Structure 1
């Protein structure tokens, strides 16, 4: 990761120069810290709801196992690349845009981790995952996947897969939870101000 240039995921249809400018102009003051903290809280909520979604799909008859496999592959792939994106200080919106725009790549990247869960006993699968997951994190961190994907996208021009809203349900639930807490905080502030005026 100690390269001279940083790797920033390329969103589906944005200019590369604006990404680099966003990376350099990221605020470092208290407001920037608060934005970073809020982004982390939102990320934890989003991934928690996505994990619940993955868990729930396992109970769907007939197609549940296949959908569960796919969602787990995306979850492991996201976790592996998240270390790299945190180190490069890539914003959550850019991560999700890049991930959802290149969903086929990430499904393939996370699949080997999930195969261990589906084909081995729980004890053996935990052992295999304890070996595989750190190796995949290192692979994701040291890879130039973003550059390779953007190079191939330029070569193929019009022929590409569309964006798939993988995190739509988790995103919607996270926003509702955050808006609920925001509403509660605002009502508490209003009550405090009303009690001070009386």
Structure 2
């Protein structure tokens, strides 16, 4: 009897290793690719809607009025600037993710801080697709995000709630369903315009330096890199 129990447990582990986990990883990668397509199509629909509205002569607040876009230089310089900004953005968000992970080990208040930081992280990821297509510079993204931190905390919290109530496997499955819906919402709505119009009339909360620690560490890492040699 113990032999059959051992054989059964081995077979279950083999099924998990060679079938379930690879399928789970494949679905995760495939979903990540789909998120970009979802945001792209939602952004195209939004742009076509804005052009139609402008054709009818309606005076509405446009994207450039709420969060300014950046004129990227053309040619090789523009490519280098774009690559450099993407690399710095990846480094910054990676350090912020490490910061989020570390807060989970803080006693008593760690879970609450972890929940808040995770909500901000998911909210930023949702809006990052739209900001990439809108050519919004990284410094303007961070400034807008930190100036409207209560909105983004509430926006990202539904994606984080399953992590605290379900097992990791189930929570990631629920998040995989919720996250594309929030990416679609962020890319296809005019939430930035609404936020800016409300702030212009009623003001808003003070800017909260959410990415301060990650930004300082990222800058320290970049300063350790050797400077390019100058040729005469």
The TM-score with structure 1 as length reference comes to 0.83
- Is 1:162 the counterpart of 2:201? The answer is no
**Within 5 Å, which residues of 2 pair with 1:30-179?**
30-157=76-203, 160-179=204-223
Equivalent-residue separation in structure 1 for 2:80 and 2:128 (angstroms): 20
Give the gaps of 5 or more residues in structure 2: 1-42, 52-61
Which ranges of structure 1 fall in alignment gaps of 5 or more residues? 12-18, 194-198
Using the alignment, how far apart are the partners of 1:161 and 1:185 within structure 2? Answer: 39
- CA separation in 1, counterparts of 2:72 and 2:162? 40
Deviations 1:57-104 (A, max 9, x none): 000010000000000000000000000000111100000000000000
Structure number, greater radius of gyration: 2
Return the TM-score normalized by structure 2.
0.71
Matched residues in 1 for 2:111 and 2:99: separation? 13
User: Is the alpha carbon distance of 1:7 and 1:113 closer, same or farther for their aligned partners in structure 2, counting shifts above 3 Å?
Assistant: same
RMSD: 1.8
In structure 2, what is the Cα distance between the partners aligned to 1:121 and 1:81?
Answer: 27
Structure 2 Cα separation of the partners of residues 185 and 155 of structure 1: 47
Count matched residues. Answer: 175
8 Å contact from structure 1 (residues 103, 164) kept in 2: yes
Question: Match of 2:63?
Answer: 7
Secondary structure at the residue paired with 2:209? coil
2:63 counterpart SS class? coil
SS of 1:96's partner is helix
Rounded to whole Å, the distance in 2 between the matches of 1:177 and 1:156 is 40
